Amino acid sequence: MRLVFFCFTPKDYQHCCPRSYLRNKVMSIHIIQHPKGTEPEELTAQGTDEHLSQRASIGWVEVIAGSMFSGKSEELIRRLRRAKIARLKVQVFKPEIDVRYSANHIVSHSEMRHESGAVKSARELLAEVLSATEVVGIDEAQFFDAELVEVANELARRGVRVIIAGLDQDYTGRPFEPMPQLLAIAEYITKTHAICVRCGQPANYSQRIFESEELVAVGAGNMYEARCRRCFVPHADAPTSYITEAED
């Protein structure tokens, strides 16, 4: 994508001969190349006047974080689709644990989907990335092991744009590893919010509404609810052992 700004004022025009005007004014167009399918608004922190070839070889990490139903997968898919429109070579991964809706697609709650590979570990993900790949998308990052942080850094170092989506808190409201580390190393962070099903305010929490002893219980619609800070009830549905541990 390109943004083109024309430098033009009537005063400049009056005092320039047409030729120098063309050379110095009309031709002083700032063309901003947005590498790897990025949005204009996403580039504000990058500045706008770096040399194009310098830009093109630099990779980075973007993290999309929020509660369940907040639109993380939708936003990830949107960015991936735009990267593909820009004819960039894209690969997408999700953890093997999450095959709720499809084994070979990431699927949002609104039925948006994008093909993906399922991998067991961060190391396996790295091994699957082809040398020509320019953009790597990763969904449900909270289900990956801690090595995902190093893998994201390694891919960015190679020049890859890494887009990671994941739950930043578990159902008890605690930071969900390895998301805190990924947020720390990311150049760009997007926080998404759902709508609280109780009161309609922006929701930042995923309320578990079923009994389970497991910290990780992969589910959706009828197992979790989006809740705001006021409506979220920490530990209400947590296993007894967890509540005891938290109170100690």
Q: Which does 231 bind (CB under 5 to 8 A by kind): Zn ion, ligand ADP, none?
A: Zn ion
Three-state DSSP at 84 gives helix
DSSP bridge pairs for 227: 205
Instruction: Tokens for 183, please give them.
Output: 């947020």
Nearer to Zn ion, 183 or 231 (CB): 231
Given 107, 196, 226, 238, the residue binding Zn ion (CB under 5 A): 196
198 sits near Zn ion (criterion: CB under 5 A) = yes
Q: CB atoms < 10 A from the CB of 219, how many?
A: 15
Closer to ligand ADP by Cβ: residue 16 or 197: 197
CA atoms within 13 Å, Cβ hemisphere of 6: 8
Active site residue 247: no
Binding mask 67-106 for ligand ADP (x = CB under 6 A): -xxxxxxx--------------------------------
SS3 12: helix
CA 226 vs. chain centroid, Å, equals: 19
User: Would you call 37 exposed, middle or buried from its count of C-beta atoms within 10 A (0-12, 13-18, 19+)?
Assistant: buried
Q: Considering only the stretches 57-65, 115-123, 194-202, 205-213, report the one whose residues sit in contact with Zn ion under the rule CB under 5 A.
A: 194-202
Binding site for ligand ADP (CB under 6 A): 66, 68-74, 108-110, 192, 194-195, 197, 226
User: Would you name the residues annotated as active-site residues?
Assistant: 140
Binding site for Zn ion (CB under 5 A): 196, 198-199, 201, 228, 231
